[in-house]
Amino acid sequence: MDSTFNEANFGYSQFRTWLEDNADLIKLYVKDLQLYVAPKDFIAQGDLELAEREERDDRSFAPTVASPISQQYKQIFARLKMTSADFATRRDVLRDIYRELSEKPGQYTTDSLLEELRERYEMQGLSRSKTMLRHIWQMGFRQRAYDYGDESASVRVPVWLNPEISGEADFVQRAESGFVYAVIHAGIEVDQSEMAAVLLNDRDQRDYIQSLLDDLEQRKLIVRVGDRFRLPGHSVIPFCDKPALRLLCREIEQVQAPDSVARSPEKAQSLAKRAMIQRSQDFSASARSYLYACRIQWDAIQNNVPNATLEDLRWYMASYASVRAGELSQVERDYQGSKSYYLAFFALVQEDDPLWSRMRGLLNPMLAYYWANAGRELGINVSSWNLSTATPAQIAVLAANHENIQLQRRWRERTRALAEVNEGVLRRVVEQIRHNYGDQPAYLDAADQIVDILIASRALATE
């Protein structure tokens, strides 16, 4: 067997696809970014906090190509997990969240509040699972509707309403504006009637959609250019203004796809599908195909080709970054050179973004290798770390408490760099450590170091 082979980087997508293709025989669950398999008749107990994985929709590979705008909106709506509850239930839960946080500020954690609501609904004879409640809670989280005081955001620390929230209606509006933001983030045209039909089940509610647009614009999350909306930034591809993505954007601008290749979103999708297959056999070929897909989609967006969206471009870019990082790290042993691609991947794959769920299977292995490469840079043998199966939390504790002081320092440097582009993934590691290893001092020390880095990073960002 190839010594560079590991299931996480080479075989995960194929194995996961095989499992999904046999959904009539098994059940798939997700917890802490991990995929779990169970017999078809398995019933998950509530204390396991397993979320049943949604059945795969084969159209999800090309969510926006050759589909009407309403279908594009529905797909984004689904990726945000907003389909877990109907409109009336969603509004009811959002109002209850607001009332509890308004009446008892700082007295709840996310977990305790959602459990309180679940028990209340159960007593009322309402079937509202904690998973459903968490998806509705996330609507507010994505739009910074909550405040965690001096702590990093976590389901286990006290929570308040964001001081900017002026009332119940304002809270609901803030939470629901996340759908409109996701549409603009994806580079999809705004059709207020169609948006209202998806979000509110009433296409006549154009004024409400306009109020959400006004709120996003006032908070400087979007800008109006003529009769269109886009993300802030000077580029047509606005996220290329981010320092962590400049390398990827430069490579896309410099590459030239073969003249024989059609310039269309459909061709970009086809190349991305080819790259996914190549990934398990040839990193270099896969990276080249992904890069061509990025360039073709890039040109289509700049030329306003119908159905060419930023969302698909970001997906191709994240895929390219992950493959290029693997090529440099696993094949060429250029651990320092791979660092920029790991950071680009994490800059694109944020917890409050639909891309998060699409790239979920790569998050743990990408973070584990990113941290382990701190030791490889120094020539330290990390084979005993079992990278193909280790979680990021396990790698963090090994690096943070290693006898080699230089490795400890390199790990902290990499963690600081990651904190600048993606706090959310680090917060998740801290939560996992405190939840799964709360009685182990070495793990808790690693978690405390990550929290200190997050606090310092946030302080620098506000200066």
Measured between alpha carbons, how far is residue 36 from residues 39, 53, 88, 201 in Å?
A: 10, 9, 32, 34
pLDDT in tens, the chain (463 residues): 333 334 444 344 445 555 655 565 677 766 655 667 777 667 666 555 565 654 444 433 444 443 488 888 998 898 888 988 999 999 999 999 999 999 999 999 999 999 999 999 999 999 999 999 999 999 999 999 999 998 878 888 999 999 999 999 999 999 999 999 999 988 888 999 999 999 999 999 999 999 999 999 999 999 998 888 988 876 678 888 889 999 999 999 999 988 788 889 999 999 999 999 998 889 999 999 999 999 999 999 888 888 888 889 999 999 999 999 999 999 999 999 999 999 999 999 988 777 888 888 899 999 999 999 999 999 999 999 998 889 999 999 999 999 999 999 999 999 999 999 999 999 999 999 998 998 999 999 999 999 999 988 877 765 5
CA distance 117 to 294: 44
CA distance 109 to 115: 10
The pair of structure tokens assigned to 105 is 């500020």
The pair of structure tokens assigned to 175 is 């939470």
Q: What angle do CA 427, 136, 430 make, to 5 degrees?
A: 10
Q: Which residue in the block uniquely carries the two structure tokens 């009336």?
A: 88
| Phi (first) and psi of residue 14, to 5 degrees | -70, -40
The per-residue pLDDT for 326 is: 94
Provide the residue ranges of all domains of the chain, joining segments of one domain with +: 7-56, 72-230, 238-348, 373-463
The per-residue pLDDT for 10 is: 38
The per-residue pLDDT for 307 is: 82
pTM of the model as a whole: 0.71
What architecture is domain 72-230?
A: Up-down Bundle (1.20)
